[in-house]
Chain A
Amino acid sequence: MTSIAKPRIEQHLLRNKLGLTVRDYEGGMSTLCAGCGHDSVTAAMVRAFYELNLEPHTAAKISGIGCSSKTTAYFLGQSHGVNAVHGRMPSVATGAAAANGQLHYIGVSGDGDSLSIGLGQFCHAIRRNVNMLYVLENNGVYGLTKGQFSAAADFGSKSKKGEPNPHTPIDPVKLAITLGATFVARSFSGDKSQLVPLIKAAVMHKGFALIDVISPCVTFNDHVGSTKSYAHTFEYYHPAIHADYIEPSAEIKAEYEKGAVMEVELHDGSKIALKKADDDLNPRDRGDVLAYLSRHEALNEVVTGLLFVDDEKLDMNGRNKLPDAPLNNLPYEKLTPGAAALAELQKDYC
C-alpha cells in the first residue's frame, strides 16, 4: 500500500516565508525498503521545495514505472501527480509543460525507466529543452522485478548472486551533455547537503535540468562487488562542483574563498553559485566536462555536482512561441476563427 497517510505533527516546526512547514511539502508514507536511497531523495525534494518557498500546488509531479517512480506519492501531497507508464514520463511532462508553462514540473524516474524503454523519450525531452527537473534515481538494478541489471550497471559490477555485468553502461550524465542538455548534475542520495541545493537550482533553471542521483538499492545492489553500493559510492565519491541556489535579492554567502566561486545568473534574476574542487573543470564547456569525467572515471571515481549549466537557451515553450498565459486556459474567443472566417476560407475549396 503506497497511500498510507503520514501523521501530521506540526508543533514547534519552523515555517518558511509562506508560513508553511516541511510537513506541508510531504506526501504519503513510503513503502520502499528501509534504507532505500530513494527515500533520501524524497526527503531532499521536500526540503528543497520548503526552502524555495514555493506553494506546493504550483508543482506537478510525473513519473514512470519502477521503485523510483513510486516516490512521487511520497512528497508534495498537495501537488497533482501522474504515475504514467514505463519509460514514458518525459512525454507526459512534455505535453503538460506545453499546456501550462507556469508550473514547476518534477519528473522522477530511475535507471530502468529512463535508460531502456525510456531512453528515446529521455533524449528527446533533452533535445526539446522541456522546462522540468528530471531526477534519475540511479541504482543500477531493477528492484521490483528482483535484481536484474539495468542499462546503468557498470561493466564488471557484480549482481547479488556474484555474476559480473558483461555490458558497458549507459551514462545519463555524459549522454545529456552530448545531447545539449542545459543543466546536468550528478549527486548521491547519501549527500543531502549537495542534493538539496542542486534540486533548488534545477527547479529554478528554465529548461531541462537533469540530476542523476546515485541512489543505492539496499535489497539488490548494496553488496561487495557492486559499483552502485553505499560503500563503493562513499569510497569513490568525488564532489567536483558544489552548487548553491541564491534567491534574486540575496547575497552570496561569504564562506566561499574569493575567486573560487563562479556565478550563473538565471532567467528570473536568481543565481547559482558554483564552487569547484578542481581547476581543470569548466562547467560551461561540454567538451571540458566530458574530458574531466573520462579522466576521473578511469580512477573509478563517482564525479558529482552541477557539471554543466547554460541558462541562455530557449526552453521548449519559448521555441514554440507559446504565450505566458497557459494554453489550457485561453478563452475560446481566442481560439475560434468564427463562422464568418469559415465561410470565407471555404472559397478556396469551391
Chain B
Amino acid sequence: MNVVTEAVAGSRVNDFVIKIATVNGTGSASANTLLMKTIFRMGVPVVGKNLFPSNIQGLPTWYEIRVTKDAYQARTGAVDLAVAMNADTYAQDLEKTAPGGYLIYDSSWPRPQLLSRDDVNVIGVPLSAMVNERFDTARIRVLMKNMAYVGAVAALVNLDMEVIRGLVTETFGTKKHLIDGNMEAIDLGYRYVLENFTCPLPIRVEHSDKTDGYIMIDGNTAAGLGCVYAGATFGAWYPITPSTSLMDGYKMFCEKYRVDPETGEHNYCIIQAEDELASIGMVIGASWNGARAFTPTSGPGISLMSEFIGFAYYGEVPAVLFNVQRTGPSTGLPTRTQQSDILTCAYASHGDTKHILLFPSDPKECFEMAVEAFELAEWFQTPVFVVSDIDIGMNDWMVPKLEWDDNWQPNRGKVLSAEQLENIDKFYRYLDVDGDGVPYRTLPGEHPKGAYFTRGSGHDKFGLYTENSDKYKDVLDRIATKIDNAKSRVPAPIIKKAAKKTRWGVISVGSSNGATVEAIDRLATEDIHLDYLRVRGFPFSEDVDKFVDEHDAVFIVEQNRDGQLRSLILNETTAEKKKLKSVLWYSGKVPDCRFVVNGIKAHIAEESA
C-alpha cells in the first residue's frame, strides 16, 4: 500500500497538530477547549477531535487539535506536539509522535529511559510539582495541572496570553478568585517553559484573520437550536451516547427563549421516556396531534423504534428522528464514530418502507437540516431522519455563522382547518386530492367532520379498514409515489468539478466530507483529478444518477464496513455496479484523508493493472 507520510519539516506556521493525552474525568476538557478557542480567536482555523472512552472516570482519553491555515476539516493522522499527561499511555503517545516532533511530559516524576526516542524532542515540565506547591486540595490540583499544560503549550506554540486571559475571564465571569487561580496556573507552565526552552517552536501559531464570520459549535447543540427555530414544541428521548447533548441543547435554548416571562409557562415539552420504544411513540402521538415533535437517538434506539417507524410511515404521521450514529453493531464502540446506520434508516421497519434522510456534514448543516426535517416531515406526513454521527454531533467544528430570516414561517403541510372542514362535504384521510401523493390530514379536536382513524392495519384511501388487495395496494403505491416525490425536495447534492476534465468521480456523505475534500486536493497535486458529489438527502436526487453516468468509475467514501451508501445508490439509482468502488473506514476513529488517498490510488492502480 502506498502510504502518505506526514513529516514535520522546518517551520510550520499555523499548520500542525497538538494531541493531548489525559485521563477521563480529570476535567481536561475545559483546558483543551481553551487551547482550541485561543487559536480560533487568533484568527487561525482549527479542528478539534475528542477521542474518549465509554467510561466516567479513569480510562485514557485524547484530544486532538489541528491548526490548519487552509481550513481543512479532517484530522491529519500525525502528531507534531504531544502533551503526554497520562502515564498509562505515555509509551503509546511517544510512539505516535511524528519524527522531528515534540512531546511535553510531567517531569515531576522520573521518566523511564527505555521510552526515549532520539527523533522526538522531549520537553519535561514539572507541572505537578509546581501546581502542588501553589494549590491545596487534590481536586483543585488536578484541574490546575490541566491549566498549567495550557500555559506550557501556549509558550511553545506562541499563543497570545491576552486572548487566553480574555477567554478565562469570560468563562468565570464575576468569580475573580477563579480567574486569578486559573491564570496563575497557566502562568506557571508558561513561565517555566519560556525560561527553560527556546520558544516558540518552529510549529507555531501566528495571528491571522481566517476565522472572521465563523463560530465553533458542535452538531448536537446546533441541531437542538435548529429544533427551536423550526418551531418544534415537543421532544421525547431516552438517554444514549452520543445523542444526549442534542436534547441538552434544545432544553438550554428553550429555557432561554421559550419560557413565558410573565407566567413561567413553557412553550415546549421535553419528556425523558422510559425507553426508545416509548420516545418514538410519544413523538408520534404529539405529531398526530399537530405538534412539531422529534427524538434524538443513536443506532440502538433506531432499532428499538423500528416497529413504530413503520407505523408512522404507513399511518402517515410526521416524525423527526436524529440519529447521531455511533460504532455498531450492538453496543459496539459507543463513544466512537461511524456511518453504519445508513441502510437501517433508509428502510427502517418491517414491510415495504422507505424513508426521507438528510445527511449533514457539519454543525451548520445540522442546524439547517433540523429545520428542513420538520418541513419535510409535515409536508410528506412521514418520518424524516437527520443522520449525523459522533464526529459531527460531539466535536466542536468551525463553521460559518448560522443565519436566520425573520420572514420565514413554518409550512405545516396539508392540514385542514375547522373552517375548511366546515365547507367541505366529507373528509377522507388518505385520498390523493391534489395528485401529488400527499393527502390532507386533520387534527383531533378541530371539527367533528375531521375525525378519522389512524391504523397500522390495512386501510383504503378513505381511511377505512380493509383487507381488499386492490384497495390495500392503492394506498401502498400512493405512499411510494409520495416518498419518491421527495427526491426533488430534499437538499440537493453539492457537486464540485475538478480543475481538469476527468473520468473519475468521488461520492461521499456526512462527516466523510472533510477527509474526502482534503484527499481530492492531495490527489490533484499528484495529477489525479476527481469530480466530487456530496450526497445530502435521500431519496437521491437525479443528480446522483447523472453523476455516476458521467464517470467511468466513482469512488464511494464512507465510514462503515459494508459500503452502505454504495448499496443504497445501487439499489435506488440507475448506477452500474461495476462502476462504484468502495473506499471504506470503520475503525471508529475520526478519519483523516490518507484512507481516501490510498483507497482511490489502489482502485486506480487495479484498474490500470
Contacts and interface: CB of A to CB of B under 8 A. Distances in A.
Interface string B425-468: 00000000000000000111111101111111100000011110
A99 B234 contact: yes
Contact of B448 (A3, A55, A128): A55
A81 B402 CA distance: 40
A328 B215 contact: no
A120 interface: yes
A31 to B, nearest CB: 9
Contacts of B217: 346, 349
Most buried by A among B281, B410, B456: B281
A95 B236 contact: yes
Interface string A82-122: 11110010111111111110110000000000000000110
Given A336-B229, A346-B402, A100 B289 contact: yes
A151 interface: no
Most buried by A among B41, B268, B269, B446: B269
Given A57-B447, A80-B451, A88 B308 contact: yes
B290 A329 contact: yes
Contacts of A326: 290
Interface string A224-259: 000000000000000000000000000000000000
Given A121-B277, A327-B233, A332-B231, A99 B285 contact: yes
Contacts of A350: 40-41, 214-216
Contact of A100 (B256, B401, B445, B465): B445
Contacts of A349: 215-217
A320 B267 CA distance: 10
B182 interface: no
Interface stretch (B14-22, B24-32, B258-266, B547-555): B258-266
Contacts of B288: 80, 82, 92, 95-96
Contacts of B448: 55-57, 78
A99 B291 contact: yes
Contacts of B265: 321-323
A98 B286 contact: yes
A93 B236 CA distance: 13
B444 A80 contact: yes
Interface string B208-239: 00000011110000000100110101101000
Given A2-B465, A349-B216, A95 B233 contact: no
B269 A82 contact: no
Interface in B513-546: none
A9 interface: no
Contacts of A83: 453-457
B445 A99 contact: no
Given A332-B409, A342-B404, A96 B445 contact: no
Contact of B286 (A95, A339, A341, A346): A95
B233 A335 contact: yes
Contacts of B287: 95, 99
Nearest to B268: A327
B122 interface: no
Given A3-B465, A103-B444, A342 B403 contact: yes
B465 A1 contact: yes
A320 B266 contact: yes
B267 A335 contact: yes
Interface string A184-207: 000000000000000000000000
Interface in B381-412: 401-406, 409-410
Contacts of A336: 228-229, 231, 404
A338 B283 CA distance: 25
A79 interface: yes
B274 interface: yes
Contacts of B233: 99, 327-328, 330, 335
Interface residues of A, number: 63
A345 B260 CA distance: 19
B451 A92 contact: no
A121 B278 contact: yes
A328 B260 CA distance: 16
A310 to B, nearest CB: 22
A124 to B, nearest CB: 4
A62 interface: yes
A175 to B, nearest CB: 15
A252 to B, nearest CB: 31
A170 to B, nearest CB: 17
B278 A88 contact: yes
A84 B286 contact: no
B281 A91 contact: yes
Contacts of A180: none
Interface string A34-60: 000000000000000000000111101
Nearest to A63: B455
Given A88-B277, A99-B289, A3 B464 contact: yes
Most buried by B among A100, A332, A336, A345: A336
Contact of A321 (B214, B266, B275, B283): B266
B94 interface: no
A93 B467 CA distance: 27
A12 interface: no
B284 A84 contact: yes
B551 to A, nearest CB: 39
A60 B288 CA distance: 11
B312 to A, nearest CB: 10
A334 interface: yes
A269 interface: no
Contacts of B283: 95
Contact of A73 (B282, B405, B453): B453
Contact of B281 (A88, A103, A342, A346): A88
Nearest to A339: B404
B409 A98 contact: no
Contacts of B403: 339, 342
Contact of A96 (B286, B308, B466): B286
B172 to A, nearest CB: 14
Most buried by B among A56, A326, A329, A337: A337
Contacts of B271: 94-95, 98, 128, 320
A156 interface: no
Nearest to B211: A350
A207 B464 CA distance: 32
B257 interface: yes
A2 B460 CA distance: 12
B289 A96 contact: yes
A332 B444 contact: no
Nearest to A128: B271
B184 interface: no
A2 B455 CA distance: 12
A332 to B, nearest CB: 5
A121 B274 contact: yes
Contact of B293 (A58, A99, A345): A99
Contact of B285 (A77, A92, A322): A92
Contacts of B264: 321
Most buried by B among A84, A90, A102, A128: A84
24 contacts: A80-B442, A80-B445, A82-B285, A82-B454, A83-B453, A88-B281, A91-B277, A91-B280, A94-B278, A98-B291, A99-B289, A100-B289, A100-B291, A320-B266, A320-B270, A326-B290, A327-B291, A342-B402, A342-B404, A345-B256, A346-B401, A350-B40, A350-B41, A350-B214
Interface of B: 40-41, 214-217, 225, 228-229, 231, 233-234, 236, 253, 256-258, 260, 263-271, 273-275, 277-291, 293, 307-308, 311, 315, 401-406, 409-410, 442-448, 450-457, 464-467
Given A320-B270, A323-B267, A339-B406, 4 more contacts: A95-B287, A96-B288, A327-B233, A349-B216
Interface of A: 1-3, 55-58, 60, 62, 72-73, 77-85, 88, 90-100, 102-103, 120-121, 123-124, 128, 317, 320-323, 326-330, 332, 334-339, 341-343, 345-346, 349-350
